Structure 1
Amino acid sequence: MTSSTARNDYARDRAAIEDTVAAFVLALDARDIKRAVGCLAERVTWNYESVTGRPATVLGPEELEARWNATIVHTDASQHFLSLPHISTEGDHATCIVHARVEMRLANPGGSPYTATNGTYTFGLVRAGSGWLLDSVTMGLLWTDGNPRIMELAAEKGQQR
């Protein structure tokens, strides 16, 4: 393989990896849970320990779909801001690390309608045909602002329906 071919392959992979990550968070923010699930591998290591204190767990797309249908769809709005992707590939596996700010809104009688989580996301990806699927998501928390109960309140709202 020539160095030009290797650069072209990396550029194609990088673009596809960035597209997968963007499609995933844009789908969550649009409440298109089926589309978000379509970005996932058969098993996903889900690690929000730095945010929730709960250890990482391996979940299937159906389990994540149920989680999001019980929480994020019951918020008023969310927006994932991601920037400065650092991407590395090794064969059929890739890592994409980004700065992240995730904002959630939910009108509630118990406090601020806003929360923001600031840190880094590390997305692990596996090659799937000509594209990539997420097989791990890790949030590395730096700090939070606002009401830390927003997702808990969203889940309560979902249970009331």
Structure 2
Amino acid sequence: MNKVFEDYFSRLQADMVAICLEYVENEAEDIYIYCSYEPEMYVFDVFFKINNQVVYKHNLNDASFSGKSVGNKALVYDTSEQRQEAVLDIGIENLEKIHEKCKEYGREMPTEIKLHYNVKQNSLKGKYRYDLVYSNDDELLPDDIFDLWFEEVKSGNQSNGNSW
């Protein structure tokens, strides 16, 4: 069977989820992945919901654990700079591969991809944009968009009635 564009697209998104899940040692309720591509700039970042708390990747250990442990030790995430950079590098590599497949199959590359993975339900949902989000704005940066999404999820105020 020949692979089609959707197979590649799905596999690469699943790989993004897998690396983020590995980063949190499979101990998260939800994973929120932000990807962006606007003229020659790739952006990848992620935040998590752990113990009903929405936290950035570098603040995982701020989520209270209610006695969760691995063996006899309390669960402590490795949020070292090297580990964070490794996750971001792999995410960007996958985003670049998505772009290559878009070119190969004559598809438009999304300018923004927001993925929500519900760990317990093993459910992945995505939102895709194809218009420029920040390139035409003198003040807006990709980090601003990511932080706005983080705050939306944290406050429970999802735009468009979406309840992710």
TM-score by length of 2: 0.28
If each structure's strand is expressed as a fraction of its own residues, which one has the higher value? 1
